[in-house]
């Protein structure tokens, strides 16, 4: 079964955020090779093999340093979301955030739900692998910071908890 466009995009994001320089994936007759390069990621196809390398945004001849700008935005957003005395449950990996086990089922937790360290709060899916996320803290959910079905990044706040 070939990869979907969403799966390839998720793979690219994972590789971009990883320490890997190169990734080779094979599924039936599809071969996917992803390489990080000094100039970013580029795509090439040779001998039926698709090679993807990401491109950096550029400003003329100079690459833009988006990491510092993004870090400032992330810190500002996190400070806005955090309330004094609250703990944050953060995404332990990059993937798609789900608040329920399947469509039509109730959400794992909502604002006001009492959680303890072993309470399942959500699921994060990466390439059809579903990881159950535990609260890791004891208290009441005070805010849900991510939308159901949204792609979340490593370290992104998912929930705020008022500890007991």
pLDDT per residue as tens digits for the range 87-113:
999 999 999 999 999 999 999 999 999
Instruction: List the beta strands (DSSP E) in the chain.
Output: 22-27, 30-35, 40-46, 49-55, 58-59, 62-63, 87-90, 95-98, 114-115, 120-126, 129-134, 139-144, 151-152, 157-163
Looking at every residue in the chain, the average pLDDT score rounds to 75
Residue 36 in this model has a pLDDT that exceeds 90: no
pLDDT for res 16:
74
16-26 pLDDT, tens digit each: 777 777 777 77
- For residues 94 and 137, membership in a common domain is answered with yes
Domain containing 94 — which CATH number?
2.40.50.100
pLDDT for res 127:
87
- For residues 40 and 111, membership in a common domain is answered with no
- For residues 94 and 53, membership in a common domain is answered with no
Q: Which residue has the higher pLDDT, 139 or 37?
A: 139
Q: Is 36 within a domain?
A: yes
pLDDT for res 82:
56
Contacts 24+ apart (CB under 8 A), 49-54: 52/8, 52/12, 54/12, 54/16
Average pLDDT over residues 59-86: 50
Residue 41 in this model has a pLDDT that exceeds 50: no
Q: Is 64 within a domain?
A: no
pLDDT for res 107:
96
51: β partners: 33, 44
Domain limits at 34? 5-59
- For residues 36 and 88, membership in a common domain is answered with no
103-141 pLDDT, tens digit each: 999 999 999 999 999 999 999 999 888 999 999 999 999
- For residues 156 and 102, membership in a common domain is answered with yes
Q: Which residue has the higher pLDDT, 126 or 4?
A: 126
pLDDT for res 7:
76
Average pLDDT over residues 23-43: 63
- Residue that finishes a domain, picked among 26, 44, 59: 59
Q: Number of folded domains in the chain?
A: 2
- For residues 40 and 97, membership in a common domain is answered with no
Q: Is 103 within a domain?
A: yes
């Amino acid at each position: 079964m070939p990869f979907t466009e969403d799966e390839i995009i998720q793979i690219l994001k994972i590789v971009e955020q990883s320490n890997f320089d190169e990734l080779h994936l094979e599924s039936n007759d599809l071969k996917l090779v992803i390489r990080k390069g000094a100039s970013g990621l580029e795509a090439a196809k040779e001998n039926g093999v698709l090679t993807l390398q990401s491109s950096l945004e550029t400003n003329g001849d100079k690459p833009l340093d988006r990491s510092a700008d993004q870090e400032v935005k992330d810190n500002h957003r996190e400070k806005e979301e955090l309330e004094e005395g609250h703990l944050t449950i953060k995404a332990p990996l990059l993937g798609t955030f789900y608040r329920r086990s399947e469509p039509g089922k109730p959400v794992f937790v909502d604002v006001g739900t009492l959680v303890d360290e072993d309470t399942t709060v959500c699921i994060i899916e990466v390439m059809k692998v579903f990881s159950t996320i535990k609260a890791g803290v004891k208290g009441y959910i005070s805010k849900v910071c991510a939308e159901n079905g949204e792609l979340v990044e490593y370290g992104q706040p998912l929930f705020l908890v008022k500890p007991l």
